[in-house]
Structure 1
Amino acid sequence: MQSDLIEALGDELFAAWRERQVLSPLRLRHPEITIADAYAIQSRLLQRRLAAGEHVVGKKIGVTSKPVQDFLGVYEPDFGVLTSGMVCQESDGIDLNGLIQPKAEAELAFVLAEDLRGPGITPVDVLRATAYVSPCFEIVDSRIRNWDIKIQDTVADNASCGVFVIGRDRADPRDFDLTMAGMVLHRNGELHATGVGAAVQGSPLNAVAWLANTLGRLGVPLRAGEVILSGSQSPLVAVTDGDELACTISGLGTCRARFHGRSAL
């Protein structure tokens, strides 16, 4: 794919994000698009957001479960970049007015105490480099109409990043088994779903190691202080004004997300 088309598609996604509009799937308009092209488009989209005043605060890992990988026709995760404009506070709730077609997923957030520079990073290295972990919600959002996505569409769209909120509870990941730690998701006071860390690449530690090694081959380290969202442990939950979600991870604590306002769709 030519560089001018890559820039044009990145600019198109940036405009769709800013104006809360949706686009036809990129893969249908440009059947030749590869995953490498999609990451180049993602990079252009990120450049536009940074130029508008945001800064990088971390990374997210997506497509970590086998059912999602099977649906998208891929056999490894993808990644996106978290920016300052995506950060929400538990106490403030989540304003839907800035989103298009949001869906929530519960997961585990890692906050790094040390840099991780792949390749060669192991789950043990991730454990040693982590300051703490917290339950969190990522509110994914898509600029692609009706969530009609395959891997090229979501990668180009910064892995369908929306916003995220990290719970106040923190834990040392060395104090409990991240693989076997159970997750319970309540929606408006009722049990909605359960999960376990092993659903994420066998362990959230494996997912973060995969990210460190994938980015390391591109010369990009994970930096101390960055937030790493390790991948969903719950089904996607469509959210609307007045909804309240609570994600509790055994041995760790709870993250709550209250939603207000109206998304574009």
Structure 2
Amino acid sequence: MILMRYFLILLLCFTTVNSYSQDSTATKTPERVKGTIISSTSQEPLSEVNIVNINQVVGTATDDNGQFEIKAKVNDTLHLSYIGYKSIKVRVTNDWLKFGNTEITMTELALALEEVTVKQLELTGYLEVDMKQVPIQSNNQYRISGLYGKAYEGRKTNIATKVLGAIFNPADFLYNMFGKKPNEMHKLKKIKEDDEIRNQLAKRFDREMLMVLLQVTKYDLDEIVNQCNYSKDFINTANDLQMLDAISECYEEYKVIQRSKERKSKKKKDKA
């Protein structure tokens, strides 16, 4: 009788533990969230909306039904952007993770087309005179991986001189950007490894996604590339992927020189 009682107690304990384990598994936070994006005016789904998880640096896009699924956890921020619509940021909540698909509405922007004046060349018929009117662009063009038929500008001089100046002069722009934003700059590698984000950047010229991911302004982006010896022509014509690769290359060279500087400084201290 006593043995039977012990057996029932053990069985009850096992059942309780097993039920708790199942409940824990069932309530475990999923690693992905789902959503559907619609237009505020037409109430129709929007396809090819760009979605980027700023915290985990992963991206995706909506399908023909306006639906998407992306890796995320509680308090992650998703950045949604679409041509002709106001970009928005959405925070991932417990309710979203718990209840699944969430409907998100995006609002159209009023598009204002600016008048563009194209200056035509007024040819005189005299070669020597007419040649002076043709703008000369001496920037070398190179192909970029993953972009068939596209080309972009290479730097005209080595960056080492400017980066060295950035390290030894604390007031220098590059030093302030690279040295004081290590977390943002570390995202560069993650951005380059995500094929979806790279594909999105290759189609964009507005710098918006880069600004969001790196937490910098458009001026900062342009100035980084400028300080890295890329021309204004490149800054004005490069797509966002080309800008990303230019900044990434500049940052990698900066890190090499920074480590060299730190080793020299350590040697001086050891000798002293």
Specify the TM-score bucket, using the shorter chain as the normaliser: under 0.3
Q: Which has the higher contact order (CA 8 A, sep 6+)?
A: 1
Larger relative helix fraction: 2
TM-score (norm 1): 0.27
Larger relative strand fraction: 1
TM-score (norm 2): 0.27
